[in-house]
Amino acid sequence: MKARAGATGSLHDDSRFRQCYRQWYDRAGTNFDYYHLPSNSYPVVLALYPDHGNSCIIPSGAGRTASNSAFNDKGLVYIMAAASQKGPGDNGPGVTGFLELPYVAMTCDTVPHAENFLINSTRMSGLNHLLLDTSILP
């Protein structure tokens, strides 16, 4: 599409832009705080303060225990993403990542501690894990 200066309905015509924008806005709606993926719900931030263990913050969706990241008061950051489901052991009985995230955040203080738990637990699906803590800070 090529716009010509002064042409009716061109990209340079402000009223035409406003009309197109309004049509799009009316169709799209105004509910931009609703996640269609991954959680199909409204976004929430879970602030967990267990009687024993670490306090943590987990961005999530309404009605879910976690989405894909958690941060605790000891400085541990845990981010996970879906991985291949085709290898042996990638699918089967085990702990879902949505339960793994809050558990790791509430019980693990450091990357080695979290890594030990993750290596020795059985997961129900393949996941990529990124762990970071404050041990690298001066």
Locate all alpha helices (DSSP H) within the chain, ordered by sequence: 14-28, 97-107, 111-119
State the pTM of this model: 0.66
What the block records as the tokens of 80 is: 């996970």
What the block records as the tokens of 5 is: 């200066």
pLDDT for res 6: 44
Question: Which three-class secondary structure state does DSSP give residue 67?
Answer: coil
Average pLDDT over residues 20-40: 54
88 with 134: CB under 8 angstroms?
Answer: no
pLDDT for res 113: 94
Right CATH for 43-136 from 3.40.50.720, 3.30.420.80, 3.10.450.30, 3.60.60.10? 3.60.60.10
The CA distance from 79 to 128, in Å, is 8
Place of tokens 């169709």: 27
Tens of pLDDT, residue by residue over 37-69, are 555 567 788 899 999 999 999 888 777 777 788
Q: What is the largest distance, in Å, between two alpha-carbon atoms of the chain?
A: 69
Domain ranges in the chain? 43-136
Neighbours of 80 (CB within 10 A): 22
Confidence of residue 112 (pLDDT cuts 50, 70, 90): very high
pLDDT for res 5: 44
